[in-house]
Chains A and B, each alone.
Chain A
């Protein structure tokens, strides 16, 4: 049953010895596991590595921009660094981060299931991810790619001297990992729901992951085909994109953004899901407008396929297509606005606590809203002409992806850390990190809005001297941000060894995942749970305070 009182009964009835973490200690027991929880941990280690590789590249980019003439002294190195930053962060951190770690771990638990629908496919997709990541890293370290993460043609197919083919192959392979994961999630959510867990009793997190999975399955093949065409043109000189051999350079942009715009929503939808779990839990209140939040996610997934042209308002497409894509872009912003209001509505008349996950969630609302409203700027056609391809756009999408998505990821990681590891993280340090992250983030990226308005173009190794002050500010912010990212790495690792042991439900949260011990046994639930009510049935605060034990 879906209530905290029932939770203790289930645990006691289980009489469980050990957990999924103690179910085998050999390397083989990890590398050949089909347990979704262990695979999630494997993924967590992998994406953490990619996050710090991408982060080091970003740090060097910001270091270079401290002086107008470029501190690194080499445009070639700089170009390869920002390409590396983009490629690694987009395909090996932002898109997979929440789904393959929290999603993998939590979907079966939230469904009341033993595992995902296809456990072996799940393990296989991790190997594909690692293989794709290894090939891409090989390309990046063997000399790198100098095209930017967008691989625009004919630069990438004809003129680039970097390892375009290798990087494209790596991303191509990792794409199949995404498709397999998406399929696995869709089938699991359709087939493995516990008795009584109807669609409208599912937590918003599951709805978000479901919408995301649809995007993964439908959009990723387009990216795969596009990259394949780039490789074919580069190796065999088949004229697809390069006009010198009969191709059309804009065709690439259409295909690329047909994937890459939905990809933006792949990154943020799981973030919406995480925040929609945290805010009710720390407001001790049912989520406001459950069905609106759920259907907002689904409509974002649908509309996001019809807005790719807004990346091409100055690219030389037709006037009419620009007008159409502009209005569609405004349309896709409506469901996001609805969500923000619903989260605020959830806090209204709640009993709000400020543990670290909630601080991250509040940071998410603030930063995502800034990213969202600046999206209105670049959706307005005449304004976009001035702002596109400048630092304004860089700031805008970092507010969504780093301010929004990474905050949500950290929020979710702290929220479910006890469930994953069986240990509590140090609360004070986590709050400090959340605060520093918020400050460092704004100091890094807010000046970039102004830089963009003043006209500083993206991807410039050296720049006009009048842009220096704002660039130095931004780089100073990046140092703070880097510290804020290293801090959780330190205290979370510390907590693995010295953290307090976690009870099954430290937050007094609803949701089936809290009804099994922390960390859960390999089989997740001893008895299949029975769900009799909707999510977020938070009891009044008098009885809901069993947390501080």
Chain B
């Protein structure tokens, strides 16, 4: 039996999520509908389960929709994305499309044209999902290149795969040049072939472009096939970093923390943060608290500082000095304060590794 497609709806409004769940249940293919109220939760769900479509709001606290979409575009290039927002702003629309979303709908329009919206979603669900490069129909990139060569075409193929953009130049059916991620020639060509999915468009030829690739088509294709076989996995450093980052995000989501900021001891090194936009101010406060604590520790001979904890009604904060930097971990106000020190320590150890 064919497994049902899954749709993930991300919105910070719980009532809207309930409404969407009921509404999308009317889709003829009866997909499984899941919901997430935060970007972190959505990313961890996407990491754990393959989804077909992500329907995402734009305006959300902490991690907004555009941030989620930019991570999704890199991490899950095969995922279809739909923006469903109340923000009637063309800037957001164009930024969302620049991030490669498949559909952009305003919430009021969706409610008024519910049938059309459902048709669009059903159509996205119905499209073949075997990866590949999206044009009129899914194709293998290698097939596209071979077709260009065999047809003796002169053209430029522009290929988008997540955050990557590459170009391949053809002149009278011969590969003449390639460019991708700052690389040129054969190196760029091999890099492009490692991309597993994306979109491409054919641009007018550029006969004046200098030729950098001189190998015959046969030897190039033989090398290509070898490369494609090898590309079955070992990810690039960037991919591994991205995977690690997603793993860390998932850890935060599972633990229930709101944000993490790493504050290096040296002021010149910028603090890094996830989950808060208040990074610089928090970093300045953290450095100030550390200096106060240092003065107090010296005056009282109280020994080294192990941690600083603070709270208000909305959240708990923990400052943990570790390996020349200080981690600031924010937790929701309702968290049990007795366990936060140990939980924060666990989180910071994984972030520091």
> Do chains A and B stick together as partners?
no
Which of A's residues lie within 8 Å of B, judged by CB?
Answer: none
